[in-house]
Each structure stands twice: as C-alpha cells, then as structure tokens.
C-alpha cells in the first residue's frame, strides 16, 4: 500500500488524501473571519452617518450589514455541514464549532449596532462626536487584529498548532486583550462625558447614547472572547 502510494504524482497524492480524509475546513474558517470583518468595517461609516444626520445612509448601511451577516452565516453553516469526520486535525471538531460561534457573535453585534442607529433619528451632541468616532475606530482596530490572528489558522495547521507560528499568534492575541482594555476605557470615558452633558440632553437621548456604547462594547468583547478561545485551541 505505502509503495503504491509513493508512486503517485504530487497532485494525485493530494487528491487521494482528500478522498480518504476529507477537505480541511481551515481555509473556510479564514473566509468566514474575513466576512465577519467586512461587517465590522461598516461601523465607522455608520458612526459618520449618524454624526452627519444622514439617516438614509444609515438605512443603506444597515441593509449592507444585514447582507454581510447573512453571507457570513452561509459560510458558517457550510463549514458545519461539511466538517469532515475523518480529516486528521490538530484540534477537536467541537472546538472549531465553538470558534465559529464566538466569531459569529462579532457580526451579530455589528448588526445590532446598525439596527440601533436605524430605529431612531438621533442627533449626536457636537461635544461627543469625536469621542464616538474614536471609539468606533478602536473597535475596528480590535477586529483587524482578530482577523490577522484568524488568518494564521491555515499556517497553524501546518505546524500542528505549535512552534514559532503558534507563538506568533499567541502574541497577537495578547495584544488583542490590551486593545479591548482600551475599548473599555473609551466606553467609560464617553459615558462620563454623556452625564456631564445631561442638562443639555433629554433622558431618551441619554439612554440611546448608552445603547450605542453598549452594542459597540459587545462587538469589542466578542472579538476579545474569540481571541481567547483561539488561545485555548492553541495551548490545549
């Protein structure tokens, strides 16, 4: 058997391996991570639109986020449906499914944020505009770092989730935690500023601002939690 296998050409060998053990799911996992990040990339345009009071633009962006989230779900479901039973993987299939669940919550959080902006035509107080924009940019930075770590999944497979490649990803995840801490600081700072302005704001607007902060904070938390789960997969 081994002698016959060795006589096969490179392409035929790869084909035979796939036939025997199934396709690797990791390239699809990377595709899913990138699609999720496409959702997050719309956070800053959404924030710009509400600051500009461009509510039609918010509607358009909310539709786009919904479409991208749906596309991410399609990739996710395809991975789950075709996750090979026999493929030799360095991680448990249950861990891959949990990783999908964690990163999918990032896209869900963006969709929640877009819906929040869409449901009420709210004016952002001029004194808060720059801080809200900075907060949105920080959340985007966090997602970019998570995507960079997720894109290393295919390389991690080659090293069985070990070696220098794994060390590099763990360093990226550590940086992810630091940036999420900065997101928390942004959120608290803006909350304090909101209540400094409460004499100029009605209670519903204050509640709406807090809901904006909370949904954006949930995107940041979901990104950090996904990174932490990736860390667990590596160190197991």
Instruction: Give the CATH fold of the 23-235 domain.
Output: Methane Monooxygenase Hydroxylase; Chain G, domain 1 (1.20.58)
Q: Which pLDDT value is given to residue 54?
A: 97
Q: CB of 95 within 8 A of CB of 225? A: no
How many angstroms separate the CA atoms of 152 and 86, rounded? 23
| Residue among 230, 87, 224, 88 at smallest CA distance from 150 | 230
Q: Which pLDDT value is given to residue 33?
A: 94
Q: 55-82 vs 93-119: helix axis angle to the nearest 10?
A: 170
Classify residue 160 as left (phi > 0), alpha (psi -120 to 50) or beta: left
Q: What are the pLDDT digits (tens) for 89-143?
A: 556 778 888 889 999 999 999 999 999 999 999 999 999 999 999 999 999 999 9
The reported pTM is 0.83
Banded pLDDT at 228 (limits 50, 70, 90): confident
Q: How far is CA 84 from CA 81, 189, 222, in A?
A: 9, 47, 27
On the question of pLDDT at 40 being above 50, the answer is: yes
How many angstroms separate the CA atoms of 65 and 49, rounded? 14
Q: Which pLDDT value is given to residue 13?
A: 37
Mean pLDDT check: name the lowest of 27-41, 64-78, 168-182, 185-199.
168-182
Q: Which pLDDT value is given to residue 198?
A: 94
Q: What are the pLDDT digits (tens) for 56-96?
A: 999 999 999 999 999 999 999 988 887 655 455 556 778 88
Banded pLDDT at 23 (limits 50, 70, 90): low
How many angstroms separate the CA atoms of 187 and 210, rounded? 9
The neighbour count for residue 68, using CB atoms within 10 Å, is: 21
**Residue 152 DSSP label:** T
Enumerate the domain spans of the chain.
23-235
The neighbour count for residue 130, using CB atoms within 10 Å, is: 10
């Amino acid at each position: 058997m081994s002698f016959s296998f060795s006589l096969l050409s490179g392409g035929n060998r790869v084909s035979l391996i796939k036939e025997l053990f199934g396709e690797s799911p990791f390239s699809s996992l990377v595709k899913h991570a990138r699609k999720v990040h496409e959702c997050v990339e719309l956070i800053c345009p959404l924030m710009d639109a509400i600051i500009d009071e461009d509510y039609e633009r918010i509607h358009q962006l909310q539709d786009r986020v919904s479409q991208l989230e749906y596309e991410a779900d399609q990739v996710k479901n395809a991975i789950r449906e075709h996750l090979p039973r026999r493929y030799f993987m360095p991680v448990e299939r249950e861990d891959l499914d949990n990783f999908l669940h964690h990163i999918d919550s990032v896209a869900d959080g963006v969709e929640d944020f877009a819906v929040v902006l869409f449901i009420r035509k709210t004016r952002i107080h001029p004194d808060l505009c720059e801080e809200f924009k900075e907060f949105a940019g920080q959340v985007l930075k966090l997602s970019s770092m998570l995507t960079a770590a997720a894109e290393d999944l295919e390389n991690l497979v080659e090293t069985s989730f070990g070696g220098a490649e794994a060390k590099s990803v763990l360093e990226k995840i550590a940086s992810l935690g630091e940036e999420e801490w900065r997101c928390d600081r942004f959120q608290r700072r803006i909350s304090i500023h909101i209540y400094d302005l409460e004499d100029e704001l009605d209670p519903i607007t204050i509640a709406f601002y807090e809901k904006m902060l909370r949904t954006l904070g949930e995107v940041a938390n979901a990104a950090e939690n996904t990174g932490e789960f990736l860390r667990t997969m590596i160190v197991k």
